[in-house]
A and B are shown apart, each in its own frame.
Chain A
Amino acid sequence: NAGVTQTPKFRILKIGQSMTLQCTQDMNHNYMYWYRQDPGMGLKLIYYSVGAGITDKGEVPNGYNVSRSTTEDFPLRLELAAPSQTSVYFCASSYGRWGGRETQYFGPGTRLLVL
Chain B
Amino acid sequence: GENVEQHPSTLSVQEGDSAVIKCTYSDSASNYFPWYKQELGKRPQLIIDIRSNVGEKKDQRIAVTLNKTAKHFSLHITETQPEDSAVYFCAATLGHLNYTGANSKLTFGKGITLSVRP
**Chain A residues packing against B (C-beta within 8 Å):** 31, 33, 40-45, 48, 50, 56, 58, 90, 94, 96-109
Please, how many angstroms separate the alpha-carbon atoms of A58 and B93 in the complex? 13
**Is the pair A102, B95 in contact by a Cβ cutoff of 8 Å?**
yes
Interface residue SS majority, chain A = loop
A-contacting 9-mer, from B11-19, B44-52, B78-86: B44-52
Q: Which residue of B46, B98, B108 has the most chain A CB atoms within 10 A of its CB atom? A: B108
**Is the pair B99, A97 in contact by a Cβ cutoff of 8 Å?**
yes
Interface size class of B (residues with CB under 8 A): 20 to 34
**Chain B residues packing against A (C-beta within 8 Å):** 9, 32, 34, 42-46, 49, 89, 93, 95-99, 101, 103-106, 108-111
**Is the pair B96, A97 in contact by a Cβ cutoff of 8 Å?**
yes
Offer 29 A-B interface pairs, CB within 8 angstroms, sorted by A. Answer: A33-B105, A40-B9, A40-B110, A40-B111, A42-B108, A42-B109, A42-B110, A44-B108, A45-B105, A48-B103, A94-B104, A96-B103, A96-B104, A97-B96, A97-B99, A98-B96, A99-B96, A99-B99, A100-B96, A101-B96, A102-B32, A102-B93, A103-B34, A103-B46, A104-B34, A104-B106, A106-B43, A108-B42, A109-B43
